[in-house]
């Protein structure tokens, strides 16, 4: 395999992906946990921004009697989430270089974000809007105008038509989620580190996902399951989100390793 180099300008094509297995995923999760334990304060502080946004959204759908829409909104986080990870990637890069990461470093990552990564963010947002629009139409068809507040915080009454709505909505969402996983799983860190152009990064990400389809599906299912459970137990997201972000970065480095002397 050709070695990878990082240039001041993005390369015309991305480095070639290596294969990865379930053992690599487990190792990446262990590295993610280790990174979180090494810098819990800035990691949790940055994650709290998303926890608060999630709290407002979940409270709003319950307030308006639209509690079955809580799951689509929670699942929608998986569509826009990849584009928000650069702050965590920046914290990890600083930590790995031996410096002490701060919360401001995470927010500062957005100022350093290349144009290609903003386009990926727009794509994620566009698919999120498609997802919410489709589920809203499905909601109107299957549930209608019936007011359904939470029975307990974030707990939905499982009536027959609500269960059917959640199942069909989850099926639609899983298709969009896999598209986002294919496009963004590795393109976001590649663009973050300036190792590829937009087209090269997306192409490399799609090839890596489809070249490791079984492991990629397992990774995506695990990400979705942990994130959804964490959103139900919302404070838990302040821990699981950074751990999964650092694990994603560790897995990316396994699939697209740096040559010696690359950015650490």
pLDDT tens across the length of the chain (264 residues): 444 434 344 555 668 899 999 999 999 999 999 999 999 999 999 999 888 888 888 888 888 888 888 888 877 777 777 767 889 999 999 999 999 999 999 998 888 888 888 899 888 888 888 888 988 899 899 888 877 877 655 566 667 778 888 888 888 888 888 888 899 999 999 999 999 999 999 999 999 999 999 999 999 999 988 988 888 788 899 999 999 999 999 999 999 998 633 444
- CA dist., res. 208 & res. 235, Å (int): 33
Locate 90 and state its tokens. 């920046």
- CA dist., res. 131 & res. 45, Å (int): 29
Give residue 262's pLDDT.
44
Give residue 4's pLDDT.
40
Give residue 56's pLDDT.
87
Dihedral, 152, 138, 134, 182 alpha carbons, nearest 10:
70
User: Whole-prediction pTM value?
Assistant: 0.86
Give residue 152's pLDDT.
57
Give residue 151's pLDDT.
64
- CA dist., res. 157 & res. 233, Å (int): 17
Q: Is residue 254 a contact partner of residue 22, using CB atoms and an 8 Å limit?
A: no
Give residue 98's pLDDT.
92
Using the CB atoms, write b or e for 13-32: b if 16+ within 10 Å.
Answer: ebbebeebeeebbebbbebb
Give residue 167's pLDDT.
87
């Amino acid at each position: 395999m050709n070695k990878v180099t990082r240039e001041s300008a993005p390369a015309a094509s991305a480095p070639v992906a290596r294969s990865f297995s379930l053992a690599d995923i487990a190792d990446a999760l262990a590295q993610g946990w280790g990174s979180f334990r090494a810098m819990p304060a800035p990691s949790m502080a940055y994650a709290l921004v998303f926890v608060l946004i999630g709290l407002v959204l979940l409270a709003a759908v319950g307030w308006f009697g639209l509690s079955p829409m809580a799951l689509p909104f929670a699942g929608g986080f998986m569509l826009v989430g990849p584009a928000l990870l650069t702050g965590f990637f920046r914290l990890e890069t600083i930590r790995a270089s031996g410096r002490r990461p701060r919360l401001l470093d995470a927010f500062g990552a957005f100022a350093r974000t290349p144009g290609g990564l903003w386009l990926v963010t727009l794509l994620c947002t566009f698919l999120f809007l498609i997802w919410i629009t489709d589920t809203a139409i499905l909601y109107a068809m299957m549930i209608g105008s019936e007011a359904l507040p939470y029975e307990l915080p974030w707990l939905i009454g499982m009536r027959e038509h609500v269960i059917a709505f959640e199942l069909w909505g989850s099926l639609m969402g899983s298709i969009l989620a896999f598209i986002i996983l294919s496009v963004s799983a590795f393109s976001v860190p590649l663009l973050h580190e300036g190792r590829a152009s937009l087209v090269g990064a997306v192409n490399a990400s799609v090839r890596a996902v489809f070249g490791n389809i079984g492991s990629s599906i397992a990774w995506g299912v695990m990400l979705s399951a942990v994130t959804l459970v964490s959103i139900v137990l919302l404070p838990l997201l302040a821990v699981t989100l950074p751990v999964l972000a650092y694990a994603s970065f560790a897995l990316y480095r396994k699939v697209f390793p740096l040559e010696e002397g690359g950015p650490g």
